[in-house]
Structure 1
Amino acid sequence: MQVISAFAIGISAFCTLASSAQAKDAHVLVTPNDVQWGAAPKTLPAGAQAAVLFGDPSKEGLFALRLKVPAGYAIPPHTHPGNEVVTVISGTFNLGMGNTADRGLAKPLPAGSFFAMMPGTAHFAYADEEAVIQITTNGPWGIKYVNPADDPQKTQ
């Protein structure tokens, strides 16, 4: 629960960017030029940008969130409390499974790739080039690092 609460605080700053998507009966249409990037939640390593396209990841219900990561970005091994449903929009996003970030076991996922994982599945990710992914799933979304020392909030 602590992970979800911390995420809710971190994400609230950029949830307002998708205010038109908050209404239950709103029709949402977003073109690439409409995406409004802001700082990613502090639960993720520094350097990423995020944009909420639909819904609110800190609340129950469907949401769509884009995450833009720079070249050299890495997310240490972690899990999520809910399903993780991801599409690679641009660049190549490398995904590895397990409690250790063994890059030799990661699979490069180029633009157009898709992956989905069950809650609690340990995984890690990194990008050698700028990449954009889209997470479309049900909230509340959260992240729990396998090694608590990897949590960026512990170093801020």
Structure 2
Amino acid sequence: MRIVSLSAVVCIGLCGIASFASAEDAHTIIAPDDVKWAPAPKILPAGAETAVLFGDPSKEGLFALRLKVPSGYAVPPHTHPADEVVTVISGTINLGMGETADRSASKALSAGSFFALPPGMAHFAYFDEETVVQITTNGPWGIKYVNPADDPQKSQ
């Protein structure tokens, strides 16, 4: 019995090492100068740019993307279908919670700040300066605007 238990532990350990080795082979490294910006998807208000760093936001699974917005940009109240984990890379995001964009109830989060929101939590954002945030979550990514008329795709 003792030999079987030891064999099981050795087998599990070797499987773990094999998994670790394959994860290492599939690594991603992107230096700041190598970030490739493109126009943001039309689900966001015009003027933003995105760069997918890892994964595919349109498919199931983990992904990381950066969102760059100009000064004066705003995203009306909305929700997401999965957790939204955000780090402010540069600039400042003014983040507010709730179904109405009450700017007096927002909080300014400068570079280095972090926030995480659960699925379905209504929030909004506006920006007084060019800002870059990094969003890490599970796909497929989506936005549901509290007021359907705020959806930029409706006006196209």
Instruction: State the distance in 2 between where 1:139 and 1:83 align.
Output: 10
1:88 match:
88
SS in 2 for 1:85: strand
Specify whether residues 25 and 142 from structure 1 end up closer, same or farther in structure 2 by C-alpha distance, changes over 3 A only.
farther
Q: Which residue of 2 aligns with 1:44?
A: 44
Change over 3 Å in CA distance of 1:25–1:153 after alignment to 2: farther
Q: How many residue pairs get matched?
A: 134
TM-score (norm 2): 0.84
Alignment-mate amino acid for residue 112 of structure 1: G
Q: What residue number does 1:62 align with?
A: 62
Deviations 1:14-56 (A, max 9, x none): xxxxxxxxxx952100110000000000000000000000000
Which residue number in structure 1 is paired with residue 116 of structure 2? 116
Structure 2: segments with no counterpart, 5+ residues: 1-23
Distance in structure 1 (CA, Å) of the matches to 2:145 and 2:102: 15
Q: Whose radius of gyration is greater, 1 or 2?
A: 2
Tell me what 2:33 maps to: 33
Identity within the alignment, %: 77
User: Could you report, residue by residue, the CA deviation over 1:42-92 in whole angstroms, capped at 9, with x for unpaired residues?
Assistant: 000000000000000111101000000000000000000000100000000
- Code of the residue aligned with 1:97 in structure 2: it is M
Aligned to 1:140: 140
Q: Classify the secondary structure of the residue corresponding to 2:121.
A: coil
After superposition, where does 1:93-112 map in structure 2 within 5 Å?
A: 93-112=93-112
- Aligned partner of 1:74 in structure 2 is 74
Q: What SS is found at the alignment partner of 2:100? A: coil
Cα distance, 1:135–1:34 mapped onto 2, change above 3 Å: same
| Counterpart residue type for residue 101 of structure 1 | A
Distance in 2 separating the partners of 1:137 and 1:34: 22
Q: Within 2, Cα distance between the matches of 1:40 and 1:25?
A: 30
RMSD: 1.3
Question: Following the alignment from structure 1 to structure 2, what is the Cα–Cα distance between the partners of residues 155 and 70?
Answer: 21
